[in-house]
Amino acid sequence: MLNNKTVLITGGTGSFGKNFARYLLDKYDLKKLIIFSRDELKQFNMEKEFNDSRLRFFIGDVRDLPRLERALSGVDVVIHAAALKQVPTLEYNPFEAVKTNILGSQNVIEAAVNQGVEKVVLISTDKAVQPVNLYGSTKLCAEKLFISGNSYTGHKTKFSCVRYGNVIGSRGSIVETLKKCQPCDKICLTDERMTRFWLPLKKSFELVMFALTEMEGGEIFIPHVPSMKLVDLFEAMAPGVKREITGIRPGEKLHETLLTNEEARHAVEYNGYYVIMPEFSRPAGFDKYEKTGKKLADDVKFSSDGNKDWLTGEQFKELM
């Protein structure tokens, strides 16, 4: 599907963007792969590390619509991964999150429509579901913008979202923090009841490729992913180390949710994924979900504490 296509990744020097770029270059005969990001040093290092003639680099910010339009000229597919993501930081810098995660996402939509891009996928998060922090709220707005973006393109440019939980190996995660502090005398845990969804980077790539293959415009694609209790994660990575319970941080949840009861009413299980369908402006292609997918019961909810699939400490270490 991507052979001889030009693909652009916003936030392409981040954990997901950089690793997804390597995945695409290894797997597909791309015409070009454009990395769009703000950090010149990371771009310089990535160019030297990859050493691939198909790579192109654009210094730019998703807050800058003219720069985005220039970068998207001749692009077939866009993966929108650029975002501000640190929950505590964004609680204290709220409008910076709004400018990047909301206004920046709208700029991606505008530029993609103006430049005739075929498909655009937003990388979203479980924190966008029933959000309690600013980061999640801005990603919820980004999802809504992407879904509604299909209403005024005549479906010439298709917009869809993928939504998943914590990624093993992502930059700034608790896993990375624990690895860096080894050996340590004490570790801090906010609440012993806390659970989270976890998936390997490769699974996030497969989710994006599934979305690009199947999307009609307006869907939210969600993978079936396992959960883990944070106490089990800490025990696996730092066995026997003393724990200090600090209490839940501002904007933090005990458990995360990937699919709500309300969303289940217009969602199906399709080829091993949950697909939330838009409630308006559906093109004809959506009948494939209804014909071959399994309609979900209204009371279905996919949350990290109610998950049927749980990771043990040993399984987590194997995934790492």
Model confidence, pTM? 0.94
The answer to whether residue 144 sits within a structural domain is yes
pLDDT at residue 175 in the model: 72
Q: Provide the number of structural domains found in the chain.
A: 1
Radius of gyration over alpha carbons of the chain, in Å? 20
Check if 127 is active-site: yes
Query: Residue 48 belongs to what domain range?
Result: 6-167+199-225+257-302
Taking phi first (over 0 means left), then psi (-120 to 50 degrees means alpha), and beta for anything else, what does residue 224 get?
beta
Strand, helix or coil at 318?
helix
Helices (H), 164-200: 174-180
The answer to whether residue 308 sits within a structural domain is no
The answer to whether residue 52 sits within a structural domain is yes
pLDDT at residue 287 in the model: 87
Say what the alpha-carbon torsion angle 267, 311, 200, 139 is, to the nearest 10 degrees. 50
How many angstroms separate the CA atoms of 147 and 161, rounded? Answer: 8
DSSP annotation string for 214-229: H--SS-EEEE---EEE
Active-site pick, 5, 18, 85, 127: 127
The answer to whether residue 177 sits within a structural domain is no
How many angstroms separate the CA atoms of 203 and 318, rounded? Answer: 15
The answer to whether residue 101 sits within a structural domain is yes
CATH classification of the domain holding 68: 3.40.50.720
Residue ranges of the chain whose pLDDT lies below 50: none
The answer to whether residue 76 sits within a structural domain is yes
DSSP annotation string for 93-157: SHHHHIIIIIIHHHHHHHHHHHHT-SEEEEEEEGGGSS--SHHHHHHHHHHHHHHHHGGGTTTSS
Question: pLDDT tens for residues 57-68?
Answer: 999 999 999 999
The answer to whether residue 17 sits within a structural domain is yes
- What 8-state DSSP symbol labels residue 310? B
Question: pLDDT tens for residues 69-110?
Answer: 999 999 999 999 999 998 889 999 999 999 999 999 999 999
Tell me the CA distances in angstroms from 81 to 49, 248, 297, one per residue in order.
21, 27, 31
CB 269 within 8 A of CB 289: no
The answer to whether residue 80 sits within a structural domain is yes
